[in-house]
Structure 1
Amino acid sequence: MSVHDELTSVQRCLDDLARSVGRLEQQLGASLEMRRVRADADHLRESLALLREAAPVLTQPRRPDLLSIPDTPYDNSLWTDSDDEGLGARDRHAP
């Protein structure tokens, strides 16, 4: 699943939790414990909202810095001390 799908799933679960807490509150009344449960559920919803805002930043792959390569030919003097790879030296032949 993608991050967006996971966040949507968590949002649905928190919505279900809020409905369940509301039903419990109707049955049990607004006691101190019930207010704490309501506050905790609200904090979860707020935290998820903050995570949703940060998620695009967290999930975007970081693009590497681009490096421009000029179209001009390389200086041939750069290659004077190297052999042709795989072919051996110029003044010798393969065994």
Structure 2
Amino acid sequence: MSVHDELTAVQRSLDDLVRSVGRLEQHVGTDSLDVRRVRTDADHLRESVALLRASAPPEPAKQERVPIPDTPYDRALWTDAEDEGLGSREGHAP
């Protein structure tokens, strides 16, 4: 996985954590010191992931695929090419 894929996975997990903390706050209330600590820690993690994302190297551009047709090439393209390698035009090696 690339760095950007990993950061996206971390961001998704962090979003799940923030939603869970929100549900926890509804059940326990926001007056609890422990719940406030968890909320603050989740907010700090969000900020840290945002800083990591900003400092990550840019994602390389995806290379465009060039389709190669299944049809044979025009033999006229190869009339000026020299024979290379072993063998001769008749198919017999020297």
Establish whether TM, by shorter chain, passes 0.5. yes
In structure 1, list runs of 5 or more residues that go unmatched.
61-95
What's the % identity of the aligned pairs? 75
Mapping 1:1-95, distance limit 5 Å? 1-30=1-30, 31-56=32-57
What is the CA deviation profile of residues 12-56 of structure 1, one whole-angstrom value per residue up to 9, with x for unaligned ones?
Answer: 000000000000000001111100000000000000000000111
Rounded Cα–Cα distance in structure 2 between residues aligned with 1:33 and 1:3: 33
Rounded Cα–Cα distance in structure 2 between residues aligned with 1:24 and 1:42: 15
Backbone CA RMSD of aligned residues: 1.6
Rounded Cα–Cα distance in structure 1 between residues aligned with 2:43 and 2:6: 19
TM-score by length of 1: 0.59
Rounded Cα–Cα distance in structure 2 between residues aligned with 1:17 and 1:33: 15
Which contiguous aligned blocks of 4+ residues in structure 1 show a shift greater than 2 angstroms? none
How many pairs does the alignment contain? Answer: 59
Specify which structure has the higher proportion of helix. 1
One-letter amino acid of the structure 2 residue matched with residue 48 of structure 1: V
